Amino acid sequence: MGEPAAQKGRLQNPGGHRVGINLNSRIIADTRLAGISGAKLAGGFLLRLTIDFNVMGWELPDIPVVVFAPARVHLQEMHGLLLGQASPETLQPFTVSNYGGPRAAMFDLFLTPQAMDVLEKHRDGRGVPLSIQLQGEIRRAGAVHLIQDEVRGELNVVQWLAALEQAGYGRSMLFEVPIPSTPASAGAAVELLEAARQLFSRGHYPDAVAKCRMVIEGLTASLGQDAELRAATAAPKHTRTREQRELAMRQAAMDFASLAHHPTSVAQDELFDRNAAQMLLGTTAALVSSALAKK
């Protein structure tokens, strides 16, 4: 289900104490996480975090100069998992003057494919709550003062998926796999298929794989094809009909999903990662569609 129209594209910025960029308790600029975009990068993915600075007017002598170092970016959940350091596109994203006003700056966060996979697994189909630790210096009248400011905000699902698409993560070939509504006896298999899709979108890959096996087993039973499936897998390959080969594909998918057919000491979440679950989910959907289209 999509987000309410009023929330599409809008950054969720929950409450919390924000100090802002300040010098001796005098606010130089308020800060806010405004959005995110993505870009393709060799060896990984580039996420560009937009920080809004509401710069205050400065009427005193010796106008301060603010410069930034790379900011640490944490996931607010998972005990503040450190995602990496985001480099500012310019060391001095705004200039302090007698006249205040809004300014914006990009902070670039590089993530490896492995880091992105970990983040997507724990995102669990939701938005991404971030904590950005701004660091830098305020230079004024020969003195240097350190900046420590935390910017918090939650990127909603619409924003996050748009950034992933721009970054080239999870690019896919889209095509329709129609799921007929008849026969009624196959309704349970169709419901399980939707449950498998939801588990996959939440990052529960081993559970999605297990659910796919249940889909195929339930489909075969509801269509009364258990004996046909056994006969198809027992038949010599060169004698199988097209229908028997399709039944053999069902058995192969069930074998793939069963740890009993994969003796290994590897943990399930390593054996059935995103790629494995994605492959089996697509295969299962195609097998269900083909089987029900014949009935």
Nearest alpha-carbon partner for 109 in 58, 169, 21: 169
Q: Assess whether pLDDT exceeds 90 at residue 270.
A: no
User: Over 80: is that where the pLDDT of 3 sits?
Assistant: no
Question: In the structure, what pLDDT confidence band is assigned to residue 161 with cuts at 50, 70 and 90?
Answer: confident
One domain, residues 195 and 266: yes
Q: Would residue 176 count as lying in a domain?
A: no
Same domain, 16 and 130: yes
Assigned domain for 229 exists: yes
If asked whether residues 137 and 163 sit together in one domain, one would say yes
Both tokens of 160, joined, read 């996050």
Q: Is residue 179 part of a domain?
A: no
Domain count, the chain: 2
- B/e letters for 204-239, b = 16+ CB within 10 Å, e = fewer, are bbbbbbbbbbbbbbbbbebbebeeebeebeeeeeee
**234 Cβ contact partners less than 8 Å away, ≥ 6 residues apart:** none
Residue 178's identity, in one-letter code, is P
Res 15: pLDDT: 39
Provide the CATH number for the domain around residue 206.
Answer: 1.20.120.330
Residue 266 has pLDDT above 80, yes or no: no
Q: What is the pLDDT of residue 68?
A: 96
Residues 59 and 98 in one domain: yes
Pair (188, 160) in one structural domain: no
The label of the residue with tokens 């289900």 reads 1
Mean pLDDT of 144-164: 92
- Give the pLDDT score at 6: 35
Q: Does 56 lie in the same domain as 195?
A: no
46 lies in the same domain as 123: yes
Tokens of 207: 């559970």
Residue 23, domain CATH: 2.60.40.10
Q: Convert the pLDDT of each residue in 96-135 to its tens digit.
A: 999 999 999 999 999 998 898 888 877 777 889 999 999 9
Does residue 81 fall inside a structural domain?
yes
Residues 63 and 193 both lie in one domain: no
Whether residue 14 has pLDDT greater than 50? no
Among 99, 134, 167, which residue terminates a domain? 167
Rounded to whole angstroms, how far apart are CA atoms 285 and 272? 18
Joined tokens for residue 260 = 């009993």
Highest mean pLDDT among 7-16, 156-165, 229-238, 263-272: 229-238
Residue 56 and residue 150 share a domain: yes
- For residue 288, the enclosing domain spans 184-293
Residue that is last in its domain, among 113, 138, 167? 167
Query: What is the per-residue pLDDT for 292?
Result: 86
Q: In whole angstroms, what is the distance from residue 18 CA to residue 259 CA?
A: 50
Residues 26 and 159 grouped into a single domain: yes
- Do residues 65 and 121 both lie within one domain? yes
In a domain, 177, yes or no: no
- Report if residue 30 sits inside a domain: yes
Q: Which of 39-43, 247-251, 257-261, 285-289 has the highest mean pLDDT?
A: 247-251
Between the alpha carbon of residue 199 and those of residues 76, 177, 210, the distances in Å are: 23, 19, 10
Residues 22 and 121 in one domain: yes
Residue 205 CA to residue 198 CA, distance in Å, equals: 10
Task: Report yes or no on 172 lying in a domain.
Answer: no
Write the pLDDT tens digit of every residue in 271-281.
788 888 989 99
In a domain, 175, yes or no: no
Of the residues 167, 198, 213, the one at which a domain ends: 167
pTM: 0.59
